[in-house]
A and B are shown apart, each in its own frame.
Chain A
Amino acid sequence: MGLTFSLLLVAALILAVFLGVEALGLSFLFAIVIPYLAIATFIIGFILRVVKWGKTPVPFRIPTTCGQQKSLPWIKQNKIDNPFSTAGVVARMALEVLFFRSLFRNTKAELVDGERLTYQWEKWLWLGGLIFHWSMLIVVTRHLRIFLDPVPGFVRIIEKFDGFFTVDLQNVYITGILLLAAVTFLFIRRVVIPQVRYISFAADYFPLLLIGSIAASGILMKYFFRVDLVAIKELTVGLFSFSPVVPQGVSALFYIHLFLVCVLISYIPFSKIMHMGGIFLSPTRNMANNSRAVRHINPWNYPVKVHTYEEYENEFRDKMRAVGLPLEKDGSEKEAAAAKE
């Protein structure tokens, strides 16, 4: 159901732009109004969400430790998987964000011969995920060429490496292809693996389909239905310099691409894609495991009702005396009863 819903939704979105631009002539809407709205939604939504997270206190120090703690000097501590210092935490987070370290631990459990549990090598999700994200990052960075004039140096360098391969004398950006391949892999995996399919709903298919469609429309524009790049740059630079224009000769394919990107970025703050912010704030990963050495403060720590030693001794004084336990108050049973009042 979630799958059908997402498919229909993405198809409807594509159809909407196509009809909007081709039949209704709403280029202004799709070229200027929606992009501005989308960027505003993205920025404001993203900030609000992160501020909401950031404002919520972290009452306890709860890192998940994945290696030896720092204790006795002669026992080798695992400084990254069980960091004691900020430097360790930074290293741990960097490995998580850049290389998905935890996902790299993944194995696949299988019950062999109906009695033996085995844990098999399974890094495909890690690999697919890593390719997907890195490709996306590079693709997005390359797009700066279209927004910025002059084109920054690092963008040129990235392009050079990314476009290393040529097919028919034309540079092929490998990351674009990889992005599409990886997103396809993630989608197929989600549909085909019964357990993953079982846990998925519309909000899981939708972003994959959306990103897939964006990548596909991009590839179509670049290699198959060439678009008027000069006109497009006029549009984008206009958007970014706050003097928007709607140039002539921009194809519907481009509008589809642009619109889907707008949908994606305005969807981000309300969706699971916020994991890109969440990962940095996750208390099980971004805290040092030094809770016995440095006291962590809980801002809302409040006094609680406890059963004091005095109450305890009052209840058991005679029994304690009988077995020779030291007492605070060596009163008789009656006094004890009185003290209890």
Chain B
Amino acid sequence: MQTLINEDFTPQTLQPDPFLVVDNLSKVYPTKSGDYTVLDQVNLTVSEGEFVCVIGHSGCGKSTLLDMVSGFRQPSSGEVRLQGKQITQPGPDRMVVFQNYSLLPWKTAFENVYLAVNSVYPDKPKKDKEDIVHKHLAMVGLEEAANKKPGQLSGGMKQRVSIARALAIYPQVLILDEPFGALDAITKEELQEELLQIWTEHRVTVLMITHDIDEALFLADRVVMMTNGPAAKIGEILDIPFPRPRIRTQIMEDPHYYTLRNQALDFLFSRFATHD
């Protein structure tokens, strides 16, 4: 796999830092009625190539947490480190699949992906860059729609382009904020499977927010469950032991699946139920 940061530059600490570290991370928003603490001293480590889903009630601070990993927001205290380097701003090593696709409407699917590849690998020959784009559009099954503009694509296709764009630049971490929330059930399952397959090929580390417990159980190595805000923390982390490659029907027949599912439901709807 290609990496953007040379391994040699990893600082030599006594204990080697894990791949991605969320270290005592807090976020406080100043509001008119005083400070509002969204996240309070959150700690999490993620190893390279891991698939982590974050689940929690609306407004608990999931987007805030991932925005501090992607660098779009700054922590009030604590820090996020990727391979020992503190994250201070957004960058292509932590590519984001945005919730509303964020494709440029005046560019075709191909051009949208090409813009990303071209800006991250400006020195590659044009032919190579085009090959990368075609390869990734093919991965999400969109070769035929390469020359269509986002306006002519369905929601699922737009999200596919967005995923192709994100992976075509070979990020170290892929961040997805509720990527499939707006899609119908069938498209959603198709995209989950495509995402898993691409993740297997790229061995990219994935952080993904979802509201869907079954989605998290199908995709993730670990499911991070957050307590309710204000001052949310990580309440519990579920290890998902199903072997890969995963087949949806097999997993759902596994009795362990329901133990995990109930554990998650219990966490979300009994211990941290919302009262509205």
Q: Are A and B a genuine interacting pair, yes or no?
A: no
Interface residues of A (CB under 8 A from B): none
